[in-house]
Amino acid sequence: MTLAIDVHDLSKSFGPVQAVNRVSIQIEQGHITGFLGPNGSGKTTTLRMLCGLLTPDSGSGRVLGLDFPREAEAIKRQTGYMTQRFSLYDDLRIEENLAFIARIYGLDRVNQRVDETLEKLGLTKRRKQLAGQLSGGWKQRLALAAAVMHQPKLLLLDEPTAGVDPQARRDFWDEIHRLADEGITVLVSTHYMDEAERCHEIAYIFNGHLIARGTGDQVIAQSGLITFEAEGPRADRLTRDLAGKPGVDMVAPFGQALHVSGTERAALEAAIQPFRRDPFRWAEVPPTLEDVFIHLMRKHGGQEAQQAA
């Protein structure tokens, strides 16, 4: 196994705020790792440290075989980074934006590289279009083109599909998998559970701490979460009756169905027993990633509140 990222005890503070706290990440070359967590959890800070835009307070290891963070500049030259917000020039054409990026990287054969990148990302027919006139999905495709035209070995994507329609998101992810098949390692932050399920592995960060790591199935199994689903006319209305009962850690409506989850089976089954009657149909179901991440967020949020008290 060849590790593209192997860093340990990565930390970063901004004044009194500990944004990232002793995070260790190992990612195999050519793998896609989904980086999940609520807003303000430390995802963007971690990405920026890995690509050399921020200097960590502590932490060491290797990225792309280079010493981290001592060789940050060399790592940066082999890394593509796509920010949350579209950061190219609205008043330049697509081809002009890419030519500008090529010159920033000091690439040779600029025109040829622009043509090749346009072709790979399906942008050739739009090359004369102003970037500011593109839809959200096409802007993200252009931003990805700019991030990969220097042929990086590592691609860091910070919520790349936020605000993009479902078809554009699917097309974008098809492109990400194509790049991974070529050997590019991808670390992508996202809030979408369907995107997390498309990753080879996922990592969940909360308040600067990495609290879960593995494949989707592994993270679900490690949670120890047990979930029952109720179906029937307006089963979602049972939320207020079940929330907070002993054994019930979480109640989440899914349309007209309801997921009721906990980690203690006997207490959970006792809580739902009074509602196991017509017109509701109950069945034990595998927890979803969304169930697990909400559970983790509440669990660790409660622990930190107790420690603060």
pLDDT of amino acid 176: 94
Same structural domain, 49 and 181 = yes
What pLDDT is stored for residue 169 in this prediction?
87
Q: 192 and 266 share a domain?
A: no
Q: Where are the beta strands (DSSP E) in the chain?
A: 3-14, 17-28, 32-36, 58-63, 66-68, 79-82, 154-158, 185-189, 201-206, 209-214, 226-231, 250-254, 257-262, 281-285
Number of domains in the chain: 2
Q: Over the stretch 33-43, which tens digit does the pLDDT of each residue have?
A: 999 988 889 99
**CATH number (domain holding residue 226):** 3.30.70.250
For the residues of 183-235, what is the DSSP string, one character each? T-EEEEE-S-HHHHTTSSEEEEEETTEEEEEE-HHHHHHHHT-EEEEEESTTG
Task: Say if residue 246 is in the same domain as residue 290.
Answer: yes
Whether 239 and 148 map to the same domain: the answer is no
Q: Based on the domain organization, do 265 and 192 belong to the same domain?
A: no
pLDDT score at 47: 95
pTM beyond 0.75: the answer is yes
Task: Copy the structure tokens of residue 180.
Answer: 């991974």
Q: What is the pLDDT of residue 85?
A: 84
Q: Are residues 261 and 150 in the same domain?
A: no
Domain range enclosing 179: 3-215
Last residue of a domain, one of 192, 215, 238: 215
Of 168, 185, 215, which closes a domain?
A: 215
Are residues 87 and 183 both part of a single domain?
Answer: yes
Amino acid 236: pLDDT: 86
Provide the CA 53 distance to its chain's centre, in angstroms.
Answer: 19
Q: What is the pLDDT of residue 306?
A: 44
Per-residue confidence in pLDDT tens, the chain, 309 aa: 699 999 999 999 999 999 999 999 999 999 999 999 888 899 999 999 999 899 999 999 999 999 999 999 999 999 999 988 888 899 999 999 999 999 998 999 999 999 999 998 899 999 999 999 998 889 999 999 999 999 999 999 999 888 778 888 888 899 999 999 999 999 999 888 888 999 999 999 999 999 999 999 999 999 999 999 999 988 888 999 999 899 999 898 888 889 999 999 999 999 999 999 999 999 999 998 988 988 888 887 755 544 443
Average predicted confidence (pLDDT) for the chain: 91
pLDDT of the residue at 255: 80
Q: Quick one: 122 and 37 in the same domain?
A: yes
CATH number of the domain encompassing residue 19: 3.40.50.300
Residues 52 and 198 in one domain: yes
Select from 124, 9, 107, 111 the least CA-distant residue to 57. Answer: 9
Distance CA 18, CA 11 (A): 8
Clarify whether residues 69 and 133 are in a common domain: yes
Question: Which of 215, 250, 278 delimits the end of a domain?
Answer: 215
Task: Give yes or no: residues 26 and 134 share one domain.
Answer: yes
49 and 187 share one domain: yes
- What is the 8-class DSSP label of residue 274? G
